[in-house]
Amino acid sequence: MKIFFIGCGNMGEAFLKIGLEKKVFTNNEVVVFEKSSERKKYLKDTYSITIAEKLEDVQASEVVFLGIKPQNLEDLLIQRFEGKIVISILAGTRIVKIIEKFVGAKIARAMPNLGQFVKQGMSGIFFGTTFSVSEKDFVKSIFKAGGEVLEVDKELDLDNITAISGSGPAYFFYFTEKLIESALVLGFSKEMAEVLVRQTFLGSAEILNQYKDDSVADWRNKVTSRGGTTEKAIENFENSDFEKIVLESVRAAQKRAEELGA
């Protein structure tokens, strides 16, 4: 099957690179359509894939991987793509918009996240129409090559996925930043604060990774002895309505995802 990447920037390249590495497709099966000649040269030289000179060349492929920015969808010329597959990772762009550009196509919409860059991605995926089992497997394999995949059965669920795992890495980095800032207030140098916090979170994430069947709360309880230091910190989080802040923030992201898709 030939797979045609339209827009191969940060995200597209991550999927291209990992897909080749994990042999989801071979370089002979990949065609890339990009904007700038610099980018085309870089992608051709790095991955030995074929570069398309015009969008119409898409007709020789069975699958499109759409990796442009949502605002660039308008620029694409309408293609007839009956029965073929389009995989879109465009945040907030609903299937009804994508089908206008790829008439008759079967559309799969996915919401990946930043973890894809380190093969620890989390992607939500929605199949907009009936896909055969092998077609679904192929689409999922592109995302599974760089992480986990969760299929949802309503397109609107992708807005919820966006608010949890799509934006999730930023929540994690935000909390990391705040703990680093706190370490600075306690008098540590920047280097010391960074190493203390980064290694702590790396270790905690690795525990979640290695002990997938254990509950997160159990692990938290292991470091929260009665009358101890951690208990005091957690008490303070709870008294400051941390839970409410997290939920409200997630709801704000979800609402914005809905607005962008409207």
Ligand X SMILES: NC(=O)c1ccc[n+]([C@@H]2O[C@H](COP(=O)([O-])OP(=O)(O)OC[C@H]3O[C@@H](n4cnc5c(N)ncnc54)[C@H](OP(=O)(O)O)[C@@H]3O)[C@@H](O)[C@H]2O)c1
Interaction site with ligand X (CB under 6 A): 6-7, 9-12, 33-36, 39, 67-70, 72, 75-76, 89-91, 111-114, 166
CB of 6 or CB of 183, closer to ligand X: 6
Quote the CA–CA distance of 141 and 128 in Å, as a whole number.
17
3 DSSP β-pair partners: 30, 63
CB of 49 to ligand X, least distance (A): 14
CB of 110 to ligand X, least distance (A): 8
DSSP state of 29: G
Nearer to ligand X, 108 or 193 (CB): 108
- Residue 76 contacts residue 82 (beta carbons within 8 Å): no
Specify the residue, 84 or 109, whose C-beta has the smaller distance to ligand X.
Answer: 109
Alpha-carbon span 58 to 31, nearest angstrom:
8
Minimum Å gap between C-beta 124 and ligand X is: 10
> Measured at CB, which residue is nearest to ligand X?
9
For residue 139, the minimal CB distance to ligand X (Å) is: 15
Cβ proximity to ligand X, 231 vs 258, nearer residue: 258
Residue 112 vs 128, nearer CB to ligand X: 112
The smaller minimum CB distance to ligand X, of residues 24 and 87, is found at 87
| Least separation in angstroms between CB 4 and ligand X | 11
Continuous H helices in 94-241? 95-101, 133-144, 157-161, 168-185, 190-210, 216-222, 229-239
Among 132, 174, 125, smallest CA distance to 153 is for 125
Which residue's CB is nearer to ligand X, number 11 or number 125? Answer: 11
The CA-based angle 155-161-165, given to 5 degrees, is: 155
Q: Name the minimum Å distance from CB 10 to ligand X.
A: 4
Q: Which residues contact 129 (CB under 8 A, 6 or more apart)?
A: 106, 107
Q: Name the residue type at position 174.
A: Y
Q: Give the nearest distance from C-beta 55 to ligand X in angstroms.
A: 7
- Note every long-range contact of 188-197, with CB atoms under 8 Å and residues 24 or more positions apart, other chains counting: none
Residues sharing a CB contact under 8 Å with residue 183, sequence separation 6 or more, in sequence order: 192, 193, 196, 197
Give helix then strand counts, H and E, for the chain.
10, 10
